[in-house]
Amino acid sequence: MLTPAQWTTIRHLTDWLDQQNGRSQEEIGLRILKLAEEQGEVAQAWIGYTGQNPRKGVTHTRDDVADELCDVIVTAAVALTTISDHPADHLTAKLASIAALRIPA
């Protein structure tokens, strides 16, 4: 779960994007689509880490993959902040519902 300080950073990023691009329906859609782009970068980094492409070989590290996963988390948090007045509450509720599934340890 994100800390209050991390949510503050996310809100600053969202405010900056709002100042630069506005918050039209198109802009909101683009922020949501940005998740697909970031997910693609995670996939690319994982392929590079595993050396799956023999033409390129190993091109990424586990840290590269972790950095790309963090980009996905931040991008999702910005998108959530864009569409919700209470994004932390939404995330908390979602995590609670996941925890209630009683996933075996």
**Residue 97 pLDDT class (50, 70, 90 cuts):** very high
Per-residue pLDDT of 45-74, as tens digits, reads: 999 999 999 999 999 999 999 999 999 999
Q: Are 58 and 84 in contact (CB under 8 A)?
A: no
- Measured CA to CA, the distance from residue 37 to residue 19 in angstroms comes to 22
Is the torsion defined by CA of 76, 8, 90, 30 positive or negative?
negative
CB atoms within 10 A of CB 81: 22
Report pLDDT for 1. 85
Question: Residue 104: its pLDDT value, please?
Answer: 74
Query: Which pair of structure tokens corresponds to residue 86?
Result: 């209470």
pLDDT given at position 103: 73
Place of tokens 């963090």: 70
- Which of 44-53, 65-74, 81-90, 96-105 is predicted least confidently? 96-105
So what's the pLDDT on residue 51?
97
